[in-house]
Amino acid sequence: MTVSVFTGAINKERLHRRIEELSLIGKIGDTGVCRLALSKEDREAVMLVKSWMEEAGLEAFIDPFGNLIGVLEGANPVAPVLMLGSHIDSQPYGGRFDGVIGVLGALEAVQTMVESGFVPMMNIEVVAFCDEEGCRFNKGLFGVRGMTGKLEDGELARMDKNGITRGEALRQFGCDPALIDGYEVTADRIGAFLELHIEQGPVLESLEQPIGIVSGISGPVWWTVEMNGFAGHAGSVPMPMRRDALVGAAKVIAALDAIARETPGAPTVGTVGSLSVFPDSRNIIPEKVSFTVDFRDIDLSRRNGLEARLLKKIDEVAAEHGLTYSIREDTKSDPRYCADWIKDTLRAEADNMGISPPELMSGPFHDSLTMSYVCDYGMIFVRCKEGISHNPKEYSSPDDIAHGAELLYLAARRIGGNEGGIEACRR
């Protein structure tokens, strides 16, 4: 076991205090958080973080996509920027660290630069991206995709469970969707992106390590599947004559689980997290079932094989039970790997802290996934208790978070202090 040495370069107490204060907005129970994207709770949280950015000496603003951006001006403001950040929206039954430590850790890193008198060679931007989670409108990474010109047709028309469109929610949030057209970063404006995040898994805890360096992000695929049969009386329709959509859905769900488990030791995962049944009565055979599918893998060929086999299984089940079906693809991305030079920078600065963080992949996707199509990226993971996340029991200790934030600070300072800018760091 390696013991990390926290040098005290950043203000651990200030960082912890801000995390706790932010957790009071949308608080549920003793430790949980519900801050859905573009909600009034999200707006309150964004404005609080904006005030902290301004307190730290950053110029802060909210763009048309709901992204909060704080800018520390460097010696060469036209050079490709170094961007740090994550998100502060949450799941409906979420924890207080997911995304948050990446935003507040980045703010702490940049505020430490300001307080020490350090002026970076390029602008450094701290970003709280809008709607990373995707739970309200069933499609995530909205802010980062919007900023980078990767939105799809119809995204502003997507509705939440209350019939509110994303466009309406943006207006309620204080943004003008009319400004979205033509608003995006140019391909060369961002030079590199760094994200600090809780691991959301048990690997670091099992290794007794406070932080880790991420090697890459698994490629996620999200579907919404609808299976249609025929409703009938549960007491009178013989079993061989039924077209039960729920039985069909159950077989597909079981098949997904089995396929994802086939390769021992592989990081393949498959999940059905939401399911609705119509007409939802105990004595009516289900006519329509809609459910989500989420599967991921760092190995693209293995993930593509899972996709092909699952499509075949859905077709077989539908034929067996006399069902029809439709599949809507909500998200699909290839695995994306962190830049070697950024990993080297993180390892060098970690060595200065007296630690050798393990390298590990990310199963969950993050804002970094979209940023990887725009610039080089790197990630730092922070240990979380029992790997629990998207749950009020989610927990990372102040010491572990401080270690992650300090590594972020040291790496950002090294990159920002290079006279040749980010391009020179790559060489």
**Domain spans of the chain?**
12-218+335-426, 220-332
- Residue 241: CB atoms within 10 A of its CB come to 9
- Contact (CB, 8 A) for 81 and 110: no
* Global pTM value: 0.83
One digit per residue, the tens of pLDDT, for the chain of length 427 reads: 344 455 678 999 999 999 999 999 999 999 999 999 999 999 999 999 999 999 999 999 999 999 999 999 999 999 999 999 999 999 999 999 999 999 999 999 999 999 999 999 999 999 999 999 999 998 999 999 999 999 999 999 999 999 999 999 999 999 999 999 878 777 689 999 999 999 999 999 999 999 999 999 988 899 999 999 999 999 999 999 999 999 999 999 999 999 999 999 888 999 999 999 999 999 999 999 999 999 999 899 999 999 999 999 999 999 999 999 999 998 888 899 999 999 999 999 999 999 999 999 998 889 999 999 999 999 999 999 999 999 999 999 999 999 999 999 999 999 999 888 898 888 7
- The residues near 168 (Cβ < 8 Å, ≥ 6 apart) are none
How many Å apart are CA 309 and CA 261, to the nearest integer?
13
Give the pLDDT confidence score for residue 190 in this predicted structure.
Answer: 95
**Residue 389 to residues 24, 97, 154, 219: CA-CA distances in angstroms?**
18, 9, 30, 19
SS3 (DSSP) at 98 = coil
**Long-range pairs, 151-159, Cβ under 8 A, ≥24:** 151/180, 156/180
- Contact (CB, 8 A) for 25 and 94: no
DSSP structure class, residue 79 = S
Does the domain formed by 12-218+335-426 have CATH 3.40.630.10? Answer: yes
DSSP string, 163-212: S-BHHHHHHHHT--GGG-TT----TTTEEEEEEEEE--SSHHHHHT-SEE
DSSP string, 258-288: HHHTSSTT---EEE---EEEES--TTB---E
How many Å apart are CA 203 and CA 382, to the nearest integer?
10
Give the pLDDT confidence score for residue 265 in this predicted structure.
Answer: 84
- Residue 60: CB atoms within 10 A of its CB come to 20
**Residue 117 to residues 31, 47, 57, 76: CA-CA distances in angstroms?**
37, 26, 12, 16
Angle, helices 40-55 vs 100-116, to 10°: value is 20
How many Å apart are CA 42 and CA 139, to the nearest integer?
17
Sign of the C-alpha dihedral computed for residues 365, 371, 374 and 378 taken in this order? negative
Q: Rounded to the nearest 5 degrees, what angle is found at the Cα of 28, between the Cα atoms of 23 and 34?
A: 70
- Residue 58: CB atoms within 10 A of its CB come to 22
Q: Amino acid identity, residue 231?
A: A
Nearest to 56 by CA among 116, 3, 129, 137: 116
Give the pLDDT confidence score for residue 129 in this predicted structure.
Answer: 98
Give the pLDDT confidence score for residue 160 in this predicted structure.
Answer: 96
- Contact (CB, 8 A) for 33 and 240: no
Burial degree of 142 (CB within 10 A; 0-12, 13-18, 19+): buried
Q: Residue count of the chain, please give it.
A: 427
- Contact (CB, 8 A) for 141 and 369: yes
- The tokens for 363 are 């199963």
With tokens 């978070």, the residue in question is 401
Number of helices followed by number of strands (H, E) in the chain: 12, 16
Q: Which CATH class is domain 220-332?
A: alpha beta
Q: How far is CA 109 from the centre of its chain?
A: 21
